[in-house]
């Protein structure tokens, strides 16, 4: 699974202004709804329900909210770099400034887990994360994510 199949340039929000975890999730749900044609409320409720099971804030300022939607036919990613970190109830109690939303079809099983793993691997690399934090626009962020992912696959 290539990173290019998980996200497209239009799905990158390089400077999202949000003041809370809920607002971040709402903004990501809105973008995902625009990209997929699914109802925004359905997307938001799906990721909110998953978040209630435990925070998807994985540490180091990173969160990977995710969920499965029956009406979806392929895995969709939305990435946001926040202008200011927000409390996300992360495992390390640190605020989050990088958020990668993953949505998968209801029956995706192993593909959903592979996509989560790929995103986690990308965002685990300190140099990559530093470069992501320094990038200025959606095109640069997309190029960085897809080139690093391709290098890691080689």
Domain count, the chain: 1
Cα 89 from Cα 107, distance rounded (Å): 29
Quick one: what percent of the chain has pLDDT higher than 90? Answer: 86
Give the domain CATH number at 131: 3.40.930.10
Mean pLDDT (the chain, rounded)? 93
Q: Which of 66, 74, 112, 136 is catalytic?
A: 66
pLDDT digits (tens, 9 = 90+) for 86-127: 999 999 999 999 999 999 999 888 898 999 999 999 999 999
Rounded CA gap, 144 and 52, in Å?
31
The model's pTM: 0.94
Quote the DSSP letter at residue 68: E
Q: Hey, is 41 helix, strand or coil?
A: helix
Cα atoms found within 13 Å of the Cα of residue 132, Cβ hemisphere only: 26
Q: Which domain holds residue 10?
A: 3-153
Half-sphere exposure of 49 (CA within 13 A, CB side): 10
The pLDDT confidence band at residue 150, using thresholds 50, 70 and 90, is low
The pLDDT value recorded for residue 154 is: 45
Give yes or no for residue 147 having a pLDDT over 90.
no
Q: Is 66 a catalytic residue?
A: yes
Run of H or E including 100: strand 96-105
């Amino acid at each position: 699974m290539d990173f290019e199949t998980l996200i497209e340039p239009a799905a990158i929000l390089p400077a999202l202004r949000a003041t809370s975890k809920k607002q971040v999730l709402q903004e990501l749900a809105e973008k995902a709804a625009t990209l997929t044609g699914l109802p925004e409320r359905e997307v938001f409720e799906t990721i909110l329900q998953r978040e209630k099971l435990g925070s998807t804030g994985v540490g180091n300022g990173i969160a990977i909210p995710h969920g499965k939607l029956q009406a979806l036919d392929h895995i969709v990613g939305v990435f946001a770099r926040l202008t200011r970190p927000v409390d996300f109830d992360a495992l390390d109690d640190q605020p989050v400034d990088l958020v990668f939303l993953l949505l998968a079809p209801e029956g995706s099983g192993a593909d959903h887990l592979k996509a989560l793993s790929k995103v986690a691997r990308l965002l685990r690399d300190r140099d990559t994360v530093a470069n992501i934090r320094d990038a200025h626009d959606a095109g640069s962020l997309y190029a960085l994510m897809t080139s690093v992912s391709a290098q890691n696959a080689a």
